[in-house]
Amino acid sequence: MSAPAHPAPPVRRTDIQALRALAVRAVVVEHFWPERLTGGYLGVDVFFVISGFLITGHLIRELAGTGRIGLSRLWMRRVRRLLPAALTVVAATAVLGGFVLPKTQWLQFAQHMVTSTFYVQNWALAAESSDYFARSVDTSPLTHLWSLSVEEQFYLVWPLVLIAAAALLRRRLVVRRAVAVAVAGIGAISISFAVALAPTLASAYYSTPLRAWEFAVGALCAVLPVEWIPRRYSALVAAGAGAVLVACMGLYTPAQGGPGAAAILPVLAAGTVILFGSASAGKADRVLGAAPVRWLGASSYSVYLWHWPLLVAATALGGGTIPFLTKLLLLVLTGMLAYLTRIHIEQRFMGAPHAEGAPAPRDGRRASAFVVSSAVVVCLLAAAGAGYVSHAASAAPSVDPGCAGAAVLVNAASCRPAHARPADEAVLSAPSRMHVSGERSGIYCIEDRDAAALRTCSFGARAGTSTTRVALVGDSHAGQWVDPLAQIADARGWHVDLYLKSSCPIVAPAQPLVSVEFPDASASCSAWRSAVASSVEAGGYDAVLTSAYSSSYAGPDGSALPLSAFTSLWRTWTDAGAEVAVLADTPRFGLGLVPDCILATPGDVPCTTPAGTALRPDPLELTATLDAGPRSPGLISTGCDATRPPATPCWVDWSRSAIATT
């Protein structure tokens, strides 16, 4: 009697355990030292392939043997396998977060506690347009659980898909072929959408449907007949695929992150390791069965759960930086917690070790302990979350619009210094209410990044009755001046027109430029600049204020924009009778959210960063400084004095700006 096409997996497949060890090691190293292993995030993709292989192999064996799938038993096993350890880490993080996270993050943290517990964290991060690679002091300690959410959503739906496929196709095909057809079809649809949408869809990184093809690759490895693979060379092919995977982890950068086309090579490499490892089972044990590899593979889930909250907590306590030795200590602590979690939680609720994919033996006392302990932890999490939310809700008093954001400029004498902690710290816990933007006041309009139409809006006195006509021109950074300008316009009878467009500075229309952050916006920016230049020149303005995040723009070859790109346009406005004033951009502190930094700084000590860091080269400001023409533009500083030595502390102090008296 011939062997089945795909024999039941052994109690331990060393190649899969080694693949797990490689995946979790890559993720952890990339999180701790992102500059050392820029493609370590591919470890998550590897986990998805492994999961697709294991669950599909188990399901087709059950379908072939019994003709049905025990859904309740399958799902309960997954819950017992994952939930106890996950709840433990979420609960520990809930306690830790109260000590290390600033109050400004408590509301989001409470939301992440809920979404992590119910395995929808990926959709929460997608809704927030969260950047997986943007790691800073304001990063959530539960962000990493997005991948667990994707995996559990797959486990919830995948058995239903296979049941439907078997019911529809088994009359003409055997179960394994029916599953193969379904897997190939779903994988093809998923990868088609992933390749098309991943480059432009902000939420693609966290999308379960766009990640489904990675699980499908693993699933195909479970249904393809192993006897077709030449066993003589299987170990060599698996080793070669593993080398390709390791190379991808070392060469890929965050620019290739996501489920799109760039992920195809490493995902196929992981699938090849699994498929050819099946054909050469046992041959690689001597190489891959080393004790450290086996331990890391078996503990990969717990290691993954613990490493990120510890890293985020240390980052928050360290103000954004962690010494190398501290990172090593964090890795040791992660290993210790992972060991204790695996021994006393994972194995306690799952019972004795058993074959991959096989149902765990039933134990009434263990099931009762699981239900009771899970209920207790969930109740504690609910209480902790309610406390965080309650604090955030009570920490939202009304804020004086005259002392919020850039509006401090017109009330500098009556407002506290901008760098000082407010008398009521609750103001900082409601950062969305700290800045009263013109957008909420109905006086703010800005053209979208990819649109070229000329869109303007106005505020202040009517155009025919105003004493002074002013134009505010620039990108989104110029928009921060709307509130103080609105107050000044009302007080002095000015009429102000806005010419704003995201990711587009106002320079000479003939000057080609590229937005470093959003290069696709260059074409629309050129057309918009041409329309604005003509409109402002013919507008009869008394003054033109311009500001931009000018350091993020460059010529097509990456070179800095020439001074003439700015001055030639300013000349057309001054020749038309307007005064031109450059509003220097806000210093870049690199400290995360300013309210978080202020809360972490005692008393009235300013939240600072070295002037050499905050005052990056600003072409717009530099041009205004060097321009010595007959009607050179005025330069309005926004704080941090450029004459300070680079190592001296620097902070934004709005009262030092000249716009309030200009």
pLDDT in tens, 232-255: 778 788 889 999 999 999 999 888
pLDDT tens-place string over residues 552-577: 788 877 777 888 888 888 888 888 88
Q: How much of the chain exceeds pLDDT 70, in percent?
A: 68
d(CA 376, CA 385): 14
d(CA 438, CA 485): 10
d(CA 471, CA 539): 9
Asked whether residue 52 is assigned to any structural domain, the reply reads yes
Whether 623 and 495 map to the same domain: the answer is: yes
Bigger pLDDT: 586 or 36? 36
pLDDT at 260 over 50: yes
pLDDT at 263 over 90: yes
The DSSP secondary-structure symbol of 501 reads B
pLDDT at 7 over 50: no
pLDDT at 159 over 80: yes
Whether 235 and 336 map to the same domain: the answer is: yes
Asked whether residue 409 is assigned to any structural domain, the reply reads no
Bigger pLDDT: 406 or 518? 518
The reported pLDDT for the residue numbered 96 is 87
Summary mean pLDDT of the chain: 75
Whether 511 and 650 map to the same domain: the answer is: yes
For range 37-59, the mean pLDDT: 92
Whether 355 and 456 map to the same domain: the answer is: no
Whether 574 and 446 map to the same domain: the answer is: yes
d(CA 248, CA 269): 10
Residue 265 CB neighbour total at 10 angstroms: 16
The reported pLDDT for the residue numbered 266 is 95
Whether 32 and 140 map to the same domain: the answer is: yes
The DSSP secondary-structure symbol of 343 reads I
The reported pLDDT for the residue numbered 432 is 43
Whether 450 and 341 map to the same domain: the answer is: no
For range 74-88, the mean pLDDT: 83
Q: Which long-range contacts (CB under 8 A, 24 or more apart) does 240-243 make?
A: 241/269, 241/270, 241/272, 241/273, 241/276, 242/19, 242/22, 242/269, 242/273
The reported pLDDT for the residue numbered 36 is 87
pLDDT tens-place string over residues 370-383: 554 555 555 555 55
Which token pair is 548?
């931009």
Asked whether residue 491 is assigned to any structural domain, the reply reads yes
pLDDT at 537 over 80: yes
Asked whether residue 401 is assigned to any structural domain, the reply reads no
Whether 449 and 346 map to the same domain: the answer is: no
281 phi and psi angles, rounded to 5 deg:
-55, 130
Which token pair is 4?
């089945």
Instruction: Determine contact, residues 535/454, Cβ cutoff 8 Å.
Output: yes
For every residue of 55-96, DSSP letters joined together read: HHHHHHHHHHHHSS--HHHHHHHHHHHHHHHHHHHHHHHHHH
For every residue of 264-314, DSSP letters joined together read: HHHHHHHHHHHHHHHHTTTTTHHHH--HHHHHHHHTHHHHHHHHHHHHHHH
For range 457-478, the mean pLDDT: 85
Q: How much of the chain exceeds pLDDT 90, in percent?
A: 21
The reported pLDDT for the residue numbered 596 is 65
Torsion-angle region of 493 (φ positive above 0: left; ψ -120 to 50: alpha; else: beta): left
The reported pLDDT for the residue numbered 353 is 45
The reported pLDDT for the residue numbered 32 is 93
pLDDT at 360 over 80: no
Provide the 3-class DSSP secondary structure of residue 133.
coil
328 phi and psi angles, rounded to 5 deg:
-65, -40
Of 328, 345, 361, the one marking the end of a domain is 361
Bigger pLDDT: 236 or 407? 236
Bigger pLDDT: 32 or 582? 32
pLDDT tens-place string over residues 313-347: 888 787 667 889 999 999 999 999 999 999 988 88
Residue 30 confidence class, pLDDT cut points 50, 70, 90:
very high
Whether 315 and 443 map to the same domain: the answer is: no
Of 335, 361, 387, the one marking the end of a domain is 361
Provide the 3-class DSSP secondary structure of residue 474.
strand
Residue 383 CB neighbour total at 10 angstroms: 10
Of 337, 361, 385, the one marking the end of a domain is 361
d(CA 497, CA 478): 13
Bigger pLDDT: 380 or 104? 104
pLDDT at 14 over 90: no
The reported pLDDT for the residue numbered 10 is 44
pLDDT at 1 over 60: no
Whether 325 and 462 map to the same domain: the answer is: no
Bigger pLDDT: 289 or 457? 457
The reported pLDDT for the residue numbered 660 is 33
CA nearest to 87, candidates 339, 370, 388? 370
Asked whether residue 480 is assigned to any structural domain, the reply reads yes
Provide the 3-class DSSP secondary structure of residue 437.
coil
The radius of gyration of the chain's CA atoms, rounded to the nearest angstrom, is 30
Provide the 3-class DSSP secondary structure of residue 500.
strand
* Total number of domains in the chain: 2
pLDDT at 392 over 60: no
Asked whether residue 168 is assigned to any structural domain, the reply reads yes
Q: Beta-strand (E) ranges in 505-625?
A: 514-515, 543-547, 553-554, 579-583, 609-610
Residue 658 confidence class, pLDDT cut points 50, 70, 90:
very low
pLDDT at 441 over 60: no
**Which has the minimum average pLDDT: 46-60, 171-185, 232-246, 535-549?**
171-185
Asked whether residue 8 is assigned to any structural domain, the reply reads no
The reported pLDDT for the residue numbered 433 is 39
Residue 176 confidence class, pLDDT cut points 50, 70, 90:
confident
The reported pLDDT for the residue numbered 280 is 57
Residue 403 confidence class, pLDDT cut points 50, 70, 90:
low
For range 495-521, the mean pLDDT: 83
406 phi and psi angles, rounded to 5 deg:
-70, -15
Whether 170 and 302 map to the same domain: the answer is: yes
Asked whether residue 623 is assigned to any structural domain, the reply reads yes
Whether 351 and 442 map to the same domain: the answer is: no
Give me the domain span that covers residue 577.
438-661
Instruction: Determine contact, residues 96/141, Cβ cutoff 8 Å.
Output: yes
